[in-house]
Amino acid sequence: MTTLTDSSPEQIRAACQAAADAAPGWATAPIARRVTLLNALADALQSARDGLVTLADEETHLGTARLNGELDRTAFQLRGFAQQLEAGRAQPMQDDPAVAGAPPAGRPRLTRVAVPVGPVAMFAASNFPFAFSVLGGDTASALAAGCTVVIKAHPGHPQLSRAVFELAAACVAAQGLPAGVLQMVEGAGIPVGVALVRDPAIAAGAFTGSVRGGVALWKEANARPRPIPFYGELGSINPVVALPEALAANGAALATQLAGSITVGCGQFCTSPGVVVVRDDEASRAFVKHLAESLAAASPHAMLNAGIRAGFNAGVARLHGRTGVKSLLALPAREAAPGAHLFVTDAASFLADEVLREEVFGPSCVVVTVRDMDETLQVLHAIEGCLTATLWGANADTPDNRRLVRAAQAIAGRVLFAGVPTGVAVTAAQQHGGPWPSTTNALTTSVGYAAMERFLRPVALQDAPAWLIDARGQA
């Protein structure tokens, strides 16, 4: 298998300097030019589909059906950001006219605008080789915001990273833009990522990956002489609360749906459900039985790499044999693919053992049996910040459901009342980010069109000349 050779310190410095040199021109380029580049990148991806999907499947084992869909999603979001630019979303303006007189009633004219922050360091993810990689959402949103980008390729799909970057670089050149608009460095070594975050030209960072790696880079970003914002998506166990009403009405179908969400992509989704909260009643017991049967019938594919597989094996090993925990399903590996694991425990054991609240990246889930709504809320409050929380059966306006929704909103960035958390829509209303440690900044999203806001800094122009206001309106 091809591996990435670590970029040298000189190469990293050169890439960052090229991004810095190109940044002013790209920040002030007409919106139409950004639109053209984003659409051209989408076209290039889809034109090279067959070769790229073949490379991606060889390196990730994700399957051509999944990868074709992911390529289409990547192209969709590139075009989507282009449409947002055409609608003026990257140049928000709030204009307060002058008011004669002394403060506080009187004031000068103030015009609040947004400016690109500068070169962005983008760390590609392993589990989405198109949508969260070289031309994924972080790159697309940063380019749309008017920022140049230095990509840190992921070592899990090196050939694909190079192929996509070559396509992208050709698009940049064809538009007559400087190569510094989009640069890439590579390597599996920690020093590459650290050098990229430390480079003085870098103005912001975007990361999707492990808690350990993300926290280390976040600390580096904040330890710089000039700290920079670092938008990291780290880890999440995505609890699902299945209330008795929902399970009594549709328990078997919900169990089948949940099993698919736990095993899709071999459980290697940041939104994979890792904890399910049910009551100690007949409908819930039937649901858990169906869930175990559905998981037993699933056939996960091989994991992305040996490191992720080792982490999964260690994670499920920690759960087996813990006090108060029973293993309901522990399927053996099938060649290179791991089997699914399902555990059950009670609320008291879950609250007492922090290991039960740790993410296991792969097809594994812990069922927590509770007696009532009070114990349900205690379980949710014990869970650290998550990307999602799913509430089945909370449709009626009751005091208990209001308490449940408040608890879910306190720990998650997206609260679902139907469906499963895997599958993240790319849209203006999306929020893919939650409280620590799911992300380093719960106020932002890495999916959806609001992702541009991470790379735009507000500036108030006081009594600005007309030419400046007019120029912003015509860009």
**Whether residue 42 sits in one domain with residue 180:** yes
Residue range 375-418, pLDDT digits in tens: 999 999 999 999 999 999 999 999 999 999 999 999 999 999 99
**Whether residue 171 sits in one domain with residue 63:** yes
**Whether residue 256 sits in one domain with residue 198:** no
Catalytic residues, by residue number, are 233, 270
Q: How confident is the model at residue 473 (pLDDT cuts 50, 70, 90)?
A: low
**Whether residue 347 sits in one domain with residue 301:** yes
**Whether residue 314 sits in one domain with residue 200:** no
CA atoms within 13 A on the CB side of 267: 35
**Whether residue 294 sits in one domain with residue 198:** no
Owning domain of residue 402: 240-416
Does residue 317 lie in a domain region? yes
**Whether residue 398 sits in one domain with residue 348:** yes
Q: Which residues contact 14 (CB under 8 A, 6 or more apart)?
A: none
Residue range 46-80, pLDDT digits in tens: 999 999 999 999 999 899 999 999 999 999 999 99
For residue 356, give the CATH number of its domain: 3.40.309.10
C-alpha torsion 366→370→375→379, nearest 10: 0
Does residue 434 lie in a domain region? no
**Whether residue 273 sits in one domain with residue 170:** no
Does residue 426 lie in a domain region? no
Closest CA to 91 of 177, 29, 49: 29
457 pLDDT above the threshold of 80: yes
Does residue 464 lie in a domain region? yes
**Whether residue 201 sits in one domain with residue 271:** no
**Whether residue 227 sits in one domain with residue 250:** no
- Whole-model pTM: value is 0.95
> How many Cβ atoms sit within 10 Å of the Cβ of residue 126?
22
Does residue 421 lie in a domain region? no
Which residue(s) pair with 341 in the sheet? Answer: 330, 364
Counted domains in the chain? 2
User: Distance between CA atoms of 456 and 447, rounded to whole angstroms?
Assistant: 16
Does residue 156 lie in a domain region? yes
2 pLDDT above the threshold of 80: no
For 206, the 3-state DSSP assignment is strand
Burial track 70-95 (b if 16+ CB lie within 10 A, e otherwise): bbbbbbebbbbbbebbeeebbbeeee
**Whether residue 255 sits in one domain with residue 215:** no
Does residue 181 lie in a domain region? yes
For residue 153, give the CATH number of its domain: 3.40.605.10
**Whether residue 228 sits in one domain with residue 267:** no
